[in-house]
């Protein structure tokens, strides 16, 4: 029951984040979506995900608020709204049609098939020695995925450093001064 209230609140907050004119209010509505997602993880009994979601959401909010305050970034809302609305409606209809037929094949919510998971739940602690099964899965059974995740984060940091690095901007300043 609480989960459905949270989901409805998240949809409402996401709509507010899209529709509101002020950019800072939009960022705060995004934060509402993130924090209710954290609560939803807690209700679904996934404290690892809840902690990570909470902490990452705080960092994202700090960066976004610092980026949006003190600047007047105009929000473009004009344009071909008829074409946009019609294409969005068509895409949503196609997506809902295929999702309806695809999701019927999935097991019910909270009742997984337990074909792979069973082995992890039974042998996880004796094989890895970790009490927290989430850590056992992401750092032992599925550690290769975690290596890919680390590579993705490393690439993003390298990209941001390459775009925003200081020496390049200093050289640009000196060139501008020489002219």
Residues that bind other proteins (rule: CB under 8 A) add up to a total of 42
Q: What angle do CA 56, 57, 60 make, to 5 degrees?
A: 85
Residue (12 or 128) nearer to other proteins, CB? 128
List the one residue out of 117, 23, 108, 4 whose CA is nearest residue 71.
Answer: 23
Q: Measure the CA–CA gap between 158 and 152, rounded to whole angstroms.
A: 10
Q: Which stretch binds other proteins (CB under 8 A): 10-18, 81-89, 90-98, 133-141?
A: 133-141
Binding to other proteins, residues 159-178 (CB under 8 A): 160-161, 164-166, 169
Interaxial angle between packed helices 23-43 and 47-68, expressed in degrees from 0 to 180 and rounded to the nearest 10: 180
Least Cβ distance, residue 175 to other proteins (angstroms): 14
Residue (66 or 119) nearer to other proteins, CB? 66
List the one residue out of 12, 4, 48 whose CA is nearest residue 29.
Answer: 12
Binding to other proteins, residues 99-128 (CB under 8 A): 125, 127-128
Q: Measure the CA–CA gap between 11 and 36, rounded to whole angstroms.
A: 10
Residue (118 or 165) nearer to other proteins, CB? 165
Least Cβ distance, residue 83 to other proteins (angstroms): 35
Q: Measure the CA–CA gap between 21 and 68, rounded to whole angstroms.
A: 13
Residue (9 or 141) nearer to other proteins, CB? 141
Binding mask 19-58 for other proteins (x = CB under 8 A): ----------------------------xx-xxx--xx-x
E-assigned strand segments in the chain? none
| Residue 7 interacting with other proteins (CB under 8 A) | no
């Amino acid at each position: 029951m609480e989960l459905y209230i949270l989901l409805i609140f998240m949809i409402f907050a996401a709509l507010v984040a899209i529709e509101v004119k002020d950019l800072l209010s939009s960022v705060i509505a995004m934060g509402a979506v993130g924090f209710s997602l954290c609560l939803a993880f807690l209700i679904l009994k996934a404290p690892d995900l809840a902690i990570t979601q909470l902490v990452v959401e705080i960092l994202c909010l700090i960066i976004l608020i610092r980026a949006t305050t003190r600047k007047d970034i105009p929000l473009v809302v004009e344009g071909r709204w008829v074409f946009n609305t019609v294409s969005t409606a068509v895409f949503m209809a196609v997506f809902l049609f295929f999702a309806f037929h695809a999701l019927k094949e999935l097991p019910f919510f909270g009742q997984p098939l337990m074909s792979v998971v069973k082995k992890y739940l039974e042998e996880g602690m004796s094989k890895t020695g970790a009490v927290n099964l989430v850590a056992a899965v992401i750092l032992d059974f599925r550690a290769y995925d975690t290596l890919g995740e680390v590579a993705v984060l490393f690439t993003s940091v390298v990209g941001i450093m390459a775009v925003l690095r200081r020496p390049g901007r200093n050289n640009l300043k000196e060139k501008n001064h020489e002219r």
